[in-house]
Structure 1
Amino acid sequence: MSDQPLDGAVALVTEAGGGIGAATARRLAREGAAVALLASRADRLTQVADDIAGLGGHAVPVAADVTGPDGAEDAVQEALDKLGRLDVLVNSAGIMLLNSALHTTVEEWDRMVARNVEAMLHVTHAAVPHLIYAASTSPRQVADLVNVGSTAGRVARRGSSVYSLTQAGLNAFTESLRQELLGERVRVSVVEPGLADTELNDRLGEFGGAGALRAEDVADAIGYIVTRDRRVAVNQLMVRGGDQAW
């Protein structure tokens, strides 16, 4: 019998071509899961899949735009076709474009809403029935849905109005979904990182400066959540860099 807690499980990780998504995919593969890697750029996904294979794991790329419901449905179905089931969903896609309401564009606001909210909603809606089925049929007798948010969902700062809006909404959505899926044995959790050294923070400018997390630090938090015994649910986990004050 394998001593890997996710042996036989299948995970789907969004934005898995780099940053937190790629680090999470590698972490879950080390725990024994087969991983469907979802993002829009196929070349990045192939590299992550090759990295995981080199470590003895198994991952398959699923290249898709999931900001629309049809794309999300097709992506989840492709993951099921390739790997057979779905036990863990990690919604890690996101974009942070910081600017004042006076100087930003509506297009930047729309991009954040599409990536941070709409993509999460569409993938979640497509995946939930399969997570429920996995929880009732797998040896683990539990499934997991983890949304990656941000400390910006709790602490709004100047220039982050719409980004904070998307993250606060993600928190509320996650809590409501947690209550809805309790009886289905699907654990729903949110991980809220502070500043992290990823592409998401490329435009921090004056808002940066605190000691940043690594993508692997956030992946460790996600790995901790989904490898707990089924009697334990870690529903919220905030992870900041040691020097981050807010």
Structure 2
Amino acid sequence: MTIPSTTEAVGKVVLITGASGGIGEAAARRLAAAGHRVVLGARRTDRIEALAKDIAAEGGDATAHPLDVTSQGDVRSFVEAAHDHHGRVDVLVNNAGVMPLSRLDALDVDAWNRMIDVNLRGVLHGIAAVLPVMRAQRSGHIVNIASVSGLRVDPTAAVYSATKFAVRALSEGLRQESRELRVTVISPGLTRSELTDGISDGDVRQAVREQMAIAMPATAIGEAIAYAIGQPPEVDVNEIVVRPTAQG
């Protein structure tokens, strides 16, 4: 699917966390192809540097910056580097996430804390870093990637769902507090990505991978992000839920 050119605002500076694969990479390629200037952040610097080169080879504008969203200092440096390079920050896509699913009685507290640190605290760090810049500009757009797990809770996903419910709550609170900024939360259903690699429980990992037989490509979420970003300034797309047609 191609978004009609009438809805696209070309040339925005778009920061993307978790850009080394999956939804982040797909979004970067889609937005760069639309003429936006993308700034890629991730811990796997070799991956984002290679992606930036690919985008540049295709005529796009991309820069890469090392980023661990669990570090507030890292996120602040990421935003400052983008602002120093481009002179503004128009969009932040809070995409970085982890999904080490397990039953609660497995007591995998380290995994719980990791999900809280990346999926929730990482989003808060992103908001804290860009809000002053966007307030000064009197414009900006924050896109938070949640999940359909933020709409329902399934066995083994209690903590993951909790973090995604929280992202939706944060997004709605920020939207209500903002009159010059746009806030969008996008909730993907089953999407092909590397998230399942973080599941250590073999039975859970196998069950999720079997479900992934119907998963949609990450490009579907890249299109949703492009759609939200491309609306006129007076239009704020608040929430988009995207599922594979076959997902119940």
Amino acid at match of 2:181: V
> Larger deviation: 146-155 or 103-112?
103-112
Gaps of 5+ in 2: 200-204
Distance in 2 of aligned mates of 1:62 and 1:83: 14
Any idea what SS the aligned residue of 1:213 has?
Answer: coil
1:111 aligns with 2:114: yes
Please say if residues 4 and 31 of structure 1, whose CA atoms lie closer than 8 Å, have aligned partners that are also in contact.
no
- Local SS of the residue matching 2:215: coil
Q: d(CA) in 2 for partners of 1:51 and 1:155?
A: 37
In the alignment, structure 1 residue 162 sits paired with structure 2 residue 159: yes
Runs of 4+, deviation exceeding 2 Å: 2-8, 131-134, 201-205
Q: Bigger CA drift: 199-208 or 7-16? A: 199-208
What CA deviation, in whole Å up to 9, does each residue of 1:36-55 have, x standing for no partner?
Answer: 10111210111110111122
1:32 aligns with 2:28: no
Please tell me whether residue 173 in structure 1 is matched to residue 175 in structure 2.
no
Code of the aligned partner of 1:14: T
Using the TM superposition, give the Cα deviation of residue 131 of structure 1 relative to its aligned residue in structure 2, in angstroms: 2.2
Q: Which amino acid aligns with 2:25?
A: A
Give the conservation status (yes or no) of the 8 Å contact 1:6–1:28: no
What TM-score, normalized by structure 1, do the two folds share? 0.91
Distance in 1, matches of 2:117 and 2:144, equals 15
Q: 2:193, 2:107 → 1: CA distance?
A: 22
Would you say 1:200 and 2:199 are equivalent positions?
no
Deviations 1:46-99, CA, capped at 9 Å, x for gaps: 111011112211100010222122221111111112222100110001111111
**Structure 2 residue aligned with 1:139:** none
Native 8 Å contact 2:7 2:231 kept in 1: no
Q: Distance in 1 between matches of 2:140 and 2:219?
A: 22
Aligned residues: 236
Q: Which residue, out of 179, 184, 187, partners 2:182? A: 187
Deviation at 1:12, TM superposition (A): 0.3
Q: Does the 8 Å contact 2:75/2:126 carry over to 1?
A: yes
> Could you say what secondary structure the match of 2:35 adopts?
coil
Distance in 2 (alpha carbons) for counterparts of 1:71 and 1:209 = 35
Alpha carbons 1:195, 1:201 under 8 Å: kept: no
Alignment of structure 1 residues 56-205 onto 2, 5 Å: 56-134=59-137, 136=138, 142-181=139-178, 183=179, 185-202=180-197, 203=199, 204-205=205-206
Higher relative contact order (CA 8 A, sep 6+): 2
SS in 2 for 1:209: helix
Range with bigger deviation, 68-77 or 16-25: 68-77
Distance 2:167 2:7 in 1: 30
Distance 1:94 1:104 in 2: 20
Contact 1:25 1:35 survives alignment (8 Å):
yes
Match of 2:9 among 6, 9, 13: 6
**Structure 1 gap segments, 5+ residues each:** 137-141
Q: Which moved more, 1:185-194 or 1:63-72?
A: 63-72
AA aligned to 2:128 is H
The Cα shift of 1:104 comes to 4.1
